[in-house]
Amino acid sequence: MQIINTIAELRSVLKNQSNVAFVPTMGNLHAGHVQLVEVAKQHANCVVVSIFVNPLQFGPTEDLASYPRTLDADCKKLKAAGASIVFTPTVEEMYADFDGKNLNQSMTITPPPIANELCGAARPGHFAGVATVVMKLFNMVQPSVAVFGQKDFQQLFIIKQMVKQFNLPIHIIGVDTVREPSGLAMSSRNGYLTNEQRATASQLNGALRDTVQSVKNGNQDYSQLEQQAKSTLNKQGWAADYISIRSSLTLLPACNTDTELVVLGAAKLGNTRLIDNLTFNI
Ligand code: PAF
């Protein structure tokens, strides 16, 4: 496995590769990321994993500075998982006009309006930052396949839209969320939780599961179910941001004729904001 820090070296190493599978990450890898590599390996012999904590997708009060950077441990996991190349550029390398303080990425991808809802409502500019860095990484790696986790359902939806609308020759694959035995979705941000919080962190998944069950039992009063799930979480000590039942095809609020659905949720436990979602059909 090669560890590469510059775009020039990456391009030179990939020059003769016609079939590359790509897994973009921000590092601090867990079993969910390893699963993405496993899926990538099924599509290409050459699997590139990027590790880059992208400043453009963090808001001014978010956890950019404290986001866990664990490169050595990450590389060990990726080697064991069978990745071919780890691409770990610096901020200077990724952002050509970075002046040590400002990224000066004055051209960015404007994501569709759905990027201002759900997580985008609480994180203005987040998905523009994600789409822009993913477009940059796609241009550097030029993969034929790229693999993302379904845990970030809205992110995956926006990346798929970007690939479609910009006619990128990349097949996007979404991989099921890997969970702790408790149901808690694996996330790098779980590392922020205290032992006590970790013991109750699966309540977010529980609230989503209860919502799915109610819909499957025939309750189609979606706004009441969303309110109920939020209030359950708040009573359990969370600060619920949103619980939303949407069409999994359009990500628009579900109406009663939609049959392919997703319930998405975001809530804070202490200072840690966790997200999760469940797709289901009725
Ligand atoms: O999901 C992530 O880890 C990040 O948003 C991504 C796709 C690597 C872009 O920085």
263 lines ligand 1 (CB under 6 A): no
54 lines ligand 1 (CB under 6 A): yes
| pLDDT tens digits, 139-157 | 999 999 999 999 999 999 9
| pLDDT tens digits, 42-73 | 999 999 999 999 999 999 999 999 999 999 99
- 33 in catalytic set: yes
156 lines ligand 1 (CB under 6 A): no
| pLDDT tens digits, 261-281 | 999 999 999 999 999 999 999
Handedness of CA 22, 24, 29, 34 (dihedral sign): negative
- The domain limits of the chain are 2-175, 193-281
What residue's CA is closest to ligand 1, atom 3? 25
SS3 content of the chain, % helix, strand, coil (to 5): 40, 20, 40
What topology does CATH give the domain 193-281?
A: Pantoate--beta-alanine Ligase; Chain: A,domain 2 (3.30.1300)
Domain covering 2-175 assigned CATH 1.20.200.10 in the classification: no
26 lines ligand 1 (CB under 6 A): yes
Identical fold for domains 2-175 and 193-281, yes or no, is: no
Which whole-number Å values give the CA distances from 202 to 53, 161, 191, 209, in the listed order? 26, 30, 14, 10
Using a cut of 0.75, tell me whether the model's pTM lies above it: yes
Average pLDDT, the chain: 98
- Which atom of ligand 1 is least distant from the CA of 53? 10
